[in-house]
Amino acid sequence: MLVPRTDHLPARPSWDCLVCECSWPCVNAKEDLASQYARFPAGLAIYMASVMYDAVEDLTATGEPSPADLYERFLAWVG
């Protein structure tokens, strides 16, 4: 699996972009990741599913329910 290369990385535990402070993956991260994984779309799906799992753990650590938009945010754009 390719190791993602982008300056637009998530700040944990908030899952906001370190560069632009938008919800991660931000537009720039999505573009960078889609370009990098263009030849390996299944790898991108696996990577994004794994980071979504990490985000669920971080975002629910305080006992709050999972944010409803996580599928849209992490996986709906892949493919």
pLDDT tens-digit readout, 11-60: 999 999 999 999 999 999 999 999 999 999 999 999 999 999 999 999 99
Name the packing angle between helices 27-36 and 41-59 (round to 10°). 140
pLDDT at 3: 65
pLDDT at 2: 58
